[in-house]
Amino acid sequence: MAVPTAQPAAFDPAPEPAPPPRAAGRERRSWAPFAARFLGAAGGGLLLYLSFPPRTLWWLALPAFALLWGVLQGRGVRAGFGWGFVFGLAFLLPLLVWVGELVGPVPWVALCVFEALFVGVGGACMALVSRLPVGPLWAAAVWIGAEALRGRVPFGGLPWGRVGFGQPDGPLLPLAAIGGEPLLSFATVLVGLALGEFVRRLVVNRNPRALVVPALTAVLAMVSGPLAALVPPTPGKPEPTVTIAAVQGNVPRLGLDFNAQRRAVLDNHVRVTEQLAADVAAGRQPQPDLVLWPENSSDIDPLRNPDAAAQIDRAARAIRAPILVGAVLRNPDGQTTTNSSLVWEAGAGVVERNDKRRVQPFGEYMPWRDFFALFSPYVARAGYFVPGPGPGAVDMAGVRVGVAICWEVAFDDLVADSVDAGATVIAVPSNNATFGLTEMTYQQLAMSRIRAVEHDRPVIVPTTSGVSATIASDGTVTASTKQFTPDVLVDRTALSDTTTLASRWRSTPEWVLVALGVVAVGAAVVSRRRWGKDEDG
């Protein structure tokens, strides 16, 4: 009997080759670098957020950028963009969470995603220049370029969250008097990036000589702050000391319709001012030379409403000093409005006026209103404000007062214009009530502290609901209020007519740093062929 024979091997189906044991291990390990970079980028962005006020953890900005450097160094352009975007989103989402208090989560997240794109572009360019000698130096300049772009486009830009605005308690603060916020931001970023390069070389190279350059870069950048404090401003003419009162009238939070709320806010500021007058008469407070009310302290147009005008005049008579009144004024076209600061004298009414020069997009006005209305019903809440021709300064009782209305304090040029207009003290009338009990008011207060050092001017911040504050020219907060509490601050303020290098040079240091970053990117592009294929993981 014939025994069946097996089929020829040629007809056997080829078995699937078993993967080598080490291949599976490599596949599993391939996720580890990605996860590490993601954690580094996201963790760095979160640390940068935590370095901002109301916390005084300024030093967290240094490990934040050290982590970012570890993620970006030697990477390709596409990877740099991605990790920069992750870093920016992890930073901006918690920093700007107060935006959602008014408009809800979708516009808040959309804003953060859009702004993080600028950080992504910065990350791409930082990765590109990271291979150059002294890479952290060029990368820090690139970061300033990204901040400069984000602070100007679109619709005037969003300077909120620039790194220097998180450093009012750090040792680098005196640099603001030399090169403004951009130089302060540059030095902070440079220290962090240099520390990141130091750690990288320590782990990878372990050659002590290789550690010298990043260590020296970090040390020199850090000591630049104390050294800047030794540079005195140019003296001006002797200025007197005046008494300035900042009134925080508070806002009602529940139970009133829109018009009743506006009237209640005005009545609150009149009432607190009259109480101050009573305290002055009783000797409990000194007589102020001038009084500052916050933005929106009279949303009822006192130029069109005799009752509102009478209330303000009553307060001015009681306190026997001119009052800077934050008012919303309707323009002759009947549709648009201006956000204005009016100098009100008893019996005379308005004697000086400064209109807000840069109004806030998506809040005070809505660009492309019909288009954005397709995506969110909150578009209807945006106002119809238009910028005015304000000079940035007003005269009150013989004092030249610079005026930066709320949002304006974030813009370098507007505050510099006020100083150029002769301001010897800067007022930042603000209304943060819309955003509730959030960190927004502390973030803005930090900007005012930077401006005080930048221009060697005392700064007074009156707000509707807090935090109001008086700030010395060295950035120290000498007095402040609690949020959503009626209060008044009376301060003996030493006026200043000095000129800092930052005031004289204005935006020049920023543009020098931007040019440095652009040149570095150009040099990196030219040298790119020498590096071989990009590593875009």
Three-state secondary structure string covering 10-51: HHCCCCCCCCCHHHHHHHHHCHHHHHHHHHHHHHHHHHHHHC
Residues 6+ apart with CB under 8 A from 148: 182, 510, 511, 514
> Residue 16: its pLDDT value, please?
45
For the chain, how far is it from start to end, CA to CA, in angstroms? Answer: 66
Backbone angles phi, psi at 535, to 5 degrees: -105, 100
Q: Which of 480, 493, 521 is nearest to 402 (CA)?
A: 493
Return the closest-CA partner of residue 297 out of 324, 258, 331, 335.
324
pLDDT number for residue 424: 97
Tell me the three state secondary structure of residue 252: coil
What is the phi/psi pair of residue 92, to 5°? -80, -35
SS (H, E, C) 266-300: HHHHHHHHHHHHHHHHCCCCCCCCEEECCCCCECC
Helices (H), 320-429: 369-372, 412-420
* Alpha carbon distance 459, 470 (integer Å): 6
* Residue 371 CB contacts under 8 Å (≥ 6 apart), including other chains: none
Given the residues 115, 181, 356, 439, the one annotated as active site: 356
What is the structure's pLDDT at 309?
97
Q: For the chain, how big is the Rg over CA atoms in Å? A: 28
Q: What is the pLDDT of residue 182?
A: 98
Whole-number pLDDT of residue 287:
97
List, edge to edge, every strand of the sheet that includes 241-248: 349-355, 337-345, 323-330, 290-292, 241-248, 487-494
- Is 239 part of the annotated catalytic residue set? no
Tokens of 337: 């409005």
Cα–Cα nearest to 161, from 444, 412, 416, 357:
444
406 is catalytic: yes
Catalytic residue among 147, 181, 197, 295: 295
Please give the chain's pLDDT, 537 residues, in tens: 444 444 444 334 444 455 555 544 455 557 888 899 999 999 999 999 999 999 999 999 999 999 999 999 999 999 999 999 999 999 999 999 999 887 788 889 999 999 999 999 999 999 999 999 999 999 999 999 999 999 999 999 999 999 999 999 999 999 999 999 999 999 999 999 999 999 999 988 778 888 999 999 999 999 999 999 999 999 988 889 999 999 999 988 654 444 567 888 999 999 999 999 999 999 999 999 999 999 999 989 999 999 999 999 999 999 999 999 999 999 999 889 999 999 999 999 999 999 999 998 888 888 888 777 777 777 777 788 999 988 899 999 999 999 999 999 999 999 999 999 999 999 999 998 878 778 999 999 999 999 999 999 999 999 999 899 999 999 999 999 999 999 999 999 999 999 999 999 999 999 999 999 999 999 999 987 665 554 454
> Is residue 66 within 8 Å of 195, Cβ to Cβ?
yes
State how far the Cα of 331 lies from the Cα of 138, in Å rounded to an integer: 48
Number of neighbours of residue 102 by Cβ within 10 angstroms:
14
Q: Is 180 left (phi over 0), alpha (psi -120 to 50) or beta?
A: left
Closest CA to 177 of 239, 223, 226: 226
- C-alpha–C-alpha distance, residues 412 and 417, integer Å: 9
pLDDT of residue 531: 56
pLDDT of residue 29: 57
Which one from 181, 197, 364, 406 is the annotated catalytic residue?
406
Query: What's the whole-model pTM score?
Result: 0.91
Residue 33: exposure state from Cβ atoms within 10 A (0-12, 13-18, ≥19): exposed
